Chains A and B, each alone.
Chain A
Amino acid sequence: DGGITQSPKYLFRKEGQNVTLSCEQNLNHDAMYWYRQDPGQGLRLIYYSQIVNDFQKGDIAEGYSVSREKKESFPLTVTSAQKNPTAFYLCASSTTWNQPQHFGDGTRLSIL
């Protein structure tokens, strides 16, 4: 079955630690996105990539980093510079920018 796989489902971060969230898709989509979802705030765009080896900052990129070395993979690193990382993180992909996005089932990140 084609889809988007996010792992792990739950992740805990210690103070000063960087953590990486995985996102893999087998839909052959060119575009991939990372969103953060907080209660009452909706989805906010962190980073997006329209093509391999290229990515752009979204609305709330500070404290995060990404890479896009392969078409099917778009990992997100939450760095120690992100002071409020507790949230539900969603990865999405689409064939191109103007097509609907399809989402993974998210990673819930919490602070120890």
Chain B
Amino acid sequence: QKEVEQDPGPLSVPEGAIVSLNCTYSNSAFQYFMWYRQYSRKGPELLMYTYSSGNKEDGRFTAQVDKSSKYISLFIRDSQPSDSATYLCAMNLPGSGGGADGLTFGKGTHLIIQP
């Protein structure tokens, strides 16, 4: 089972706000977690990659993984209009669990940052 749930939005927030984007999953075997940003008519761009529970920070972005709750989050601080995009969560199983066939994606959340 490889279901990943993500609210499609749109999520609209004012510039400078802290944004919280979330995904839940059902398969506790997922081990690798990623967040991608996708602008219109472009391919997804990798933002964050983690394979453990806890927080990982990179500039204005923080990825959080809670394996016990099967819940991952992406926080964006000091949001900018250029952050307006669709954000996709993705995760993978270990190879022994069928992970070799690639990532399982959420359907994406459309984020709008209002100037």
Check A105–B95 contact: CB distance below 8 A.
Answer: no
Contacts of B88 in A (CB 8 A): 42-43
Please tell me which one of the listed residues A33, A102, A105 contacts residue B102 in the complex, with CB atoms under 8 A apart: A33
* Residue contact A58 to B102, C-beta cutoff 8 Å: yes
A 3-17 binary contact with B (CB < 8 Å = 1; else 0): 010100000000000
Digitize A23-49: 1 where CB-to-B-CB distance is under 8 Å, 0 elsewhere.
000000000010000001111010010
Cα distance A6–B43 in the bound complex, in angstroms: 10
A103 contacts B45, C-beta separation under 8 Å: yes
Interface size class of B (residues with CB under 8 A): 20 to 34
Over the window 82-108 of chain A, the binary record of Cβ atoms lying under 8 Å from chain B Cβ atoms (1 yes, 0 no) is 000000001010000110111111101
User: Contact at B46–A98, with CB atoms within 8 Å?
Assistant: no
Q: A18 at the A/B interface (Cβ < 8 Å)?
A: no
Q: How far is the CA of A6 from the CA of B41 in the complex (A)?
A: 13
Q: A residues bordering B, Cβ < 8 Å? A: 4, 6, 33, 40-43, 45, 48, 50, 56, 58, 90, 92, 97-98, 100-106, 108
Given A42-B106, A42-B107, A48-B102: A98 touches B94 (CB 8 Å cut-off): yes
B103 at the interface (CB under 8 A from A): yes
The distance in angstroms between the C-alpha atoms of A101 and B31, with both chains bound, is 15
Residue of A nearest to B8 (CB): A40
Complex interface: chain A residues within 8 A of B32 (CB): 98, 100
Contact B107 A108 (CB under 8 A): no
Contacts A43-B44, A58-B102, A100-B46 supplied; 12 other A-B pairs, CB < 8 Å? A42-B108, A43-B88, A43-B105, A48-B100, A48-B102, A50-B100, A97-B99, A98-B31, A98-B94, A98-B99, A100-B49, A106-B43
